[in-house]
Amino acid sequence: MAARRRPSRPVIDKIVPTAAAAVADVHDGATIMVGGFGTAGIPFELIDALIATGARDLTVVNNNAGNADTGVAALLKTKRVRRIVCSFPRQVDSWVFDALYRTGEIELELVPQGNLAERIRAAGAGIGAFYTPTGYGTQLAEGKETREIAGRRYVLEYPIHADFALIKAQAGDRWGNLVYRKTARNFGPIMAAAAKCTIAQVASVVGLGELDPEAIVTPGIYVHRVVAIADAATPAVAA
Amino acid sequence: MAARRRPSRPVIDKIVPTAAAAVADVHDGATIMVGGFGTAGIPFELIDALIATGARDLTVVNNNAGNADTGVAALLKTKRVRRIVCSFPRQVDSWVFDALYRTGEIELELVPQGNLAERIRAAGAGIGAFYTPTGYGTQLAEGKETREIAGRRYVLEYPIHADFALIKAQAGDRWGNLVYRKTARNFGPIMAAAAKCTIAQVASVVGLGELDPEAIVTPGIYVHRVVAIADAATPAVAA
Amino acid sequence: MKRFTHDEMAARVARDIPDGAYVNLGIGLPTRVANHLPPDREIVLHTENGLLGMGPAPATGAEDFDLINAGKQPVTALPGASYFHHADSFAMMRGGHLDYCVLGAFQVSVAGDLANWHTGASDAIPAVGGAMDLAIGAKHVYVMMEHLTKDGASKIVARCTYPLTGLACVERIYTDLAVIDVTPAGLVAVDVVPGLPFAELARLTGVPLADGSAAVHVA
Amino acid sequence: MKRFTHDEMAARVARDIPDGAYVNLGIGLPTRVANHLPPDREIVLHTENGLLGMGPAPATGAEDFDLINAGKQPVTALPGASYFHHADSFAMMRGGHLDYCVLGAFQVSVAGDLANWHTGASDAIPAVGGAMDLAIGAKHVYVMMEHLTKDGASKIVARCTYPLTGLACVERIYTDLAVIDVTPAGLVAVDVVPGLPFAELARLTGVPLADGSAAVHVA
């Protein structure tokens, strides 16, 4: 009898066959959040597929601005990124960004890392703006509204929304539920909630119900497409 | 050799032997967050221990205002609660609150549930205030600052801090790491972060390292005392 | 006068919710919609107290009071369900991620203002719960209510006299007499209970109401 | 002139952090403090990229680049560790839950203002990371830095000339010449490298500095 109640076909199936199919509709001018911190959590294969689409005039939101010549750096190298929003672009192997920045070929919005995370979280949570103590009195708060609340001084910061989020997780199911791996979790869960369309590459797709409901980090409601990319090991990164 | 590197005694040990010991220093005038939604997640044994301390002039923050004659209702019945902050005090079995409210013996701050949750979260997250769309244009936003942001109208809401949080979890370790059970999770994790002193009753204390680090919901940094209360089943509740 | 039964109203709401939707059903009448979601469709139910993928009530004796819905009734969790804390649950609501919510109401205005949390009576104990968050959060806010009060007054009003839950948030109203859309051009009855002439519905409703039922019946 | 070595500075910081403390060690010199936390003490290290309970570097060959610290170096996780996402990690910092953070610096002012993210050079690529969050978040903010620039100028200044990281946030400064407390009454040297007369330290520092080392040595 239980079998007769089962749907004849799954009506929610967010699994897409390839990275190319997952990013095919990214449009020129899109704002794209890219998960990851250093190389951990960077969805390399989704970024490569994005590059292949030829989409241009993009805004990228990522903690860093690319390492070496892969991932976000490879995307920047195409010169199709107009603007990057990040907290830490300067790394020993961020030569692609460095060159573009010095020649004025990319705009940089530098955001303290916690404000970056909280602004992304605010977008997903429907918060219109928030007062943060981080950055008060510094160059990164210049021109921003400030306020003293209960004896402490704060800066008003606004949400960061995106058209697409490209993230990497450890496992996902056809409803889009995700779990992550160690510190590769980082920006994935908050970016998933902040984008109109969230695309997750996962090391493995598992059956519905196989993920422990107590341990699911990103509920499927935030994820629109899941693509299995096996053997996507995280490379070392220069500090 | 591994054995020689092990500490001779654990220097972080948040386990306390009894509920009475856990709440012994609650002072008159304290603001106390109490986890739970309906009866799920209500730390009944901690509340009973709190009642036994005789602390008075309390402010209680809880989603409801007590069911029947136990838990928060039993605490209210002592008339030691001056003020309650909650979203849904009216239930078929909330007769203790009802009587106190009608006779003016308790102050009520009624907060839309999502604003209650977000204000508690803001306290733990160091956010000074935030703009929320919830409640705009209603009686519960009267007198509050409002602002239009990107075409939507918001109300400014402030964090809710507490001196103590009493919460219930499924398992905890000596570092204070917690996991919860089903919808009994509710307010526990955010209250834990919003209080100066967080006290968790857990169905079982487990060894350090036994909780999956990917599945820990409340990191130990937010928890100050853990007390094992076995057989603390959640009673049914009238709707 | 024939009226839609509560089950007919719930079945109609269930039919109007598309496959794959994320849905929150409010306390009271809306909860009944769950009984009319056919098992061959996947619609994911959210409950404000921290569960996505809520299933039907458990068998008697199998209740777990750590697994309840917003109305504090025991429920179950489907394969694919996930638990989260209250700030995350309301972020999901406030952030506009739910496709539909269905709420009960005391009054709905022609502008789509909703009053469903407080009668305003001086001796009433106020309780709001998550109603205001749902009213402003879901992409589509549907209301289920009786068309008329016990005294025969319309619950669809020019301007709510009860305290508001949210402004201009209701998109569609399901009553025992009709299904009414709230549009920028005003209220439009897209369905009327069989046997009730539109003119009589309009008279009972007491606010400007367009007849859109023909268009729908054709479609 | 004798100077404290980096390891001596790190050992001193480690000694000043009490058992059971929750601590974030910044990129660069502060990372070295971890090497001086004795194994018979439990001090819980936080890394901004979502880990509490960070352990030492893994053995060569056992690196896992999904398990890294803020400096992107591979680390390990101790029993009792937990992972969380970036908003939760920075909520932990901003919310004042960490007991200590130890940061590198370009300059610290007499008021405890910190400059450690940008030299202000026009051709420099700015990068702030989590420095501003740590500066305002931890209960106690310690700085580790060389006392003097390569040109011999004091990095402890009346007013920072480099762009600020945070206002009035530094509590204590560990340099290769001294340990200096930032107090409402001004800077107080609580320890000086052996052989360096206080008067010479004060001259090199170039801002008002009280001699508090005697009091500390007695205690």
Residue whose tokens read 């952030």 = C95
Classify residue C20 by burial, with Cβ atoms within 10 Å: 0-12, 13-18, 19+. middle
**DSSP E strand stretches across B123-161:** 129-132, 146-149, 152-157
Mutation target to probe the B interface, by most B beta carbons within 10 A, among C68, C94, C97, C139 is C68
Residues of D in contact with A136 (CB under 8 A): 136, 166-167
Does a structural domain hold residue C15? yes
Query: What is the DSSP annotation of chain C?
Result: -----HHHHHHHHHHHSPTT-EEEE-SSGGGGGGGGS-TTS--EEEETTTEEEEEPPPPTT---TTSB-TTS-B-EEEEEEEE--HHHHHHHHHTT--SEEEEE-SEEETT--EE-S----TTSPP--TTHHHHHHHSSEEEEE--SB-TTS-BSEESS--SPPSBSS---EEE-SSEEEEEETTEEEEEEE-TT--HHHHHHHH-S-EEE-HHHHHH-
Which residue is closest to A126 within chain C, CA to CA? C95
Q: Under a CB-based contact definition with an 8 Å cutoff, are residues B36 and B42 in contact?
A: yes
Q: What is the CA radius of gyration of chain B?
A: 19
Q: Under a CB-based contact definition with an 8 Å cutoff, are residues B114 and C128 in contact?
A: no
Cβ-nearest to B132 among C67, C94, C166: C94
Does a structural domain hold residue C213? no
Q: Identify residues of C whose CB sits under 8 angstroms from chain A CBs.
A: 19-20, 22, 39-42, 44, 46, 52-53, 77-84, 91-98, 137
The tens place of each residue's pLDDT in chain B, 239 residues long, gives 344 444 455 689 999 999 999 999 999 999 999 999 989 999 999 999 999 999 999 999 999 999 999 999 999 999 999 999 999 999 889 999 999 999 999 999 999 999 999 999 999 999 999 999 999 999 999 999 999 999 999 999 999 999 999 999 999 999 999 999 999 999 999 999 999 999 999 999 999 999 999 999 999 999 999 999 987 778 876 54
Cα–Cα distances (Å) from C41 to A2, A87, B223, in that order, read 15, 44, 43
Cβ–Cβ gap A221/C98 under 8 Å: yes
CATH of the domain at D112: 3.40.1080.10
Tokens of A172: 């996902």
Tally the domains of chain D. 1
* Secondary structure element (H or E) that encloses residue D211, with its range: strand D209-211
Which residue is closest to B2 within chain D, CA to CA? D39
B128 touches chain A (CB under 8 A): yes
Q: How far is C132 from chain A (nearest CA, A)?
A: 14
Residue whose tokens read 């806010």 = C141
Which residue is closest to B150 within chain A, CA to CA? A128
B110 touches chain C (CB under 8 A): yes
Q: What is the mean pLDDT of residues D167-175?
A: 98
Does a structural domain hold residue B152? no
Lowest-confidence region among A41-50, A125-134, A219-228, C207-216: C207-216
DSSP A27: P
- Predicted local distance difference test score (pLDDT) of residue A233: 74
Q: Under a CB-based contact definition with an 8 Å cutoff, are residues C105 and C169 in contact?
A: no
- CA distance linking residue B86 with residue B64, whole number of Å: 6
B147 touches chain A (CB under 8 A): yes
User: Chains touching chain A at 3 or more Cβ pairs under 8 angstroms?
Assistant: B, C, D
**Buried/exposed A202-212: b ≥16 CB within 10 Å, e otherwise:** bbebbebbebe
Cα–Cα distances (Å) from A23 to A186, A191, D130, in that order, read 22, 16, 31
Residues of A in contact with C93 (CB under 8 A): 126
CB within 8 Å of B68: residues ≥ 6 apart: B93, B95, B237, B238
Does a structural domain hold residue C65? yes
Does a structural domain hold residue B11? no
- CA distance linking residue A97 with residue A50, whole number of Å: 18
Residues 163-192 of A with CB under 8 A from D: 180-190
Does a structural domain hold residue B3? no
Read off the pLDDT of residues A167-215 as tens digits, 9 standing for 90 and up.
999 999 999 999 999 999 999 999 999 999 999 999 999 999 999 999 9
Tokens of C85: 């804390």
Which residue is closest to B212 within chain A, CA to CA? A215
Cβ–Cβ gap B126/D42 under 8 Å: no
In which order are the strands placed within the sheet that holds D178-183? D76-83, D51-55, D44-47, D22-25, D100-104, D140-144, D172-174, D178-183, D186-192, D209-211
CB within 8 Å of D135: residues ≥ 6 apart: D101, D103, D114, D116, D141, D165, D166, D169, D170
Does a structural domain hold residue B146? no
Classify residue A95 by burial, with Cβ atoms within 10 Å: 0-12, 13-18, 19+. middle
Does a structural domain hold residue A169? yes
User: Chains touching chain C at 3 or more Cβ pairs under 8 angstroms?
Assistant: A, B
- CA distance linking residue C81 with residue B196, whole number of Å: 33
Does a structural domain hold residue D82? yes
Q: Which residue range(s) make up the domain with B163?
A: 19-126+159-228
- CA distance linking residue B174 with residue B183, whole number of Å: 24
Known catalytic residues of D are 48
A159 touches chain D (CB under 8 A): no
- CA distance linking residue C43 with residue A113, whole number of Å: 37
* Secondary structure element (H or E) that encloses residue B135, with its range: none
DSSP D16: H
> Residue D215 pLDDT more than 60?
no
The whole model's pTM is what? 0.96
Read off the pLDDT of residues D70-90 as tens digits, 9 standing for 90 and up.
999 999 999 999 999 999 999
Cβ–Cβ gap C42/A11 under 8 Å: yes
Does a structural domain hold residue D44? yes
* Secondary structure element (H or E) that encloses residue D116, with its range: none
Q: Which residue range(s) make up the domain with D56?
A: 6-177
Distance of CA D184 to the CA centre of its chain: 20
Q: Give chain A's mean pLDDT.
A: 94
Residues of A in contact with B157 (CB under 8 A): none
Cβ–Cβ gap B114/C132 under 8 Å: yes
Cβ-nearest to C85 among B38, B101, B185: B185
Cβ–Cβ gap A213/C77 under 8 Å: yes
For chain D, the first-to-last Cα distance in angstroms comes to: 27
Mutation target to probe the B interface, by most B beta carbons within 10 A, among A214, A216, A217, A218 is A214
Read off the pLDDT of residues D27-73 as tens digits, 9 standing for 90 and up.
989 999 999 998 888 999 999 999 999 999 999 999 999 999 999 99
* Secondary structure element (H or E) that encloses residue B23, with its range: helix B19-23
Tally the domains of chain B. 1
Q: How far is D1 from chain B (nearest CA, A)?
A: 37
- CA distance linking residue A64 with residue A60, whole number of Å: 10
Does a structural domain hold residue B2? no
Can you tell me the ipTM of this complex? 0.96
Known catalytic residues of C are 48
Does a structural domain hold residue A150? no
Which residue is closest to B10 within chain D, CA to CA? D42
Chains D and C touch (3+ CB pairs under 8 A): no
Residues of A in contact with B181 (CB under 8 A): 214
Does a structural domain hold residue D199? no
Quickly list H helices, chain A. Answer: 2-5, 19-23, 44-53, 72-77, 95-102, 113-125, 188-194
Cβ–Cβ gap A102/D167 under 8 Å: no
CB within 8 Å of D121: residues ≥ 6 apart: none
Cβ–Cβ gap B5/D77 under 8 Å: no
Which residue is closest to C92 within chain A, CA to CA? A125
Can you say whether residue D11 is alpha, beta or left, with left for phi > 0 and alpha for psi between -120 and 50 degrees?
alpha
CATH of the domain at B181: 3.40.1080.10
Cβ-nearest to B214 among A128, A132, A215: A215
Does a structural domain hold residue B171? yes
Amino acid present at C186:
G
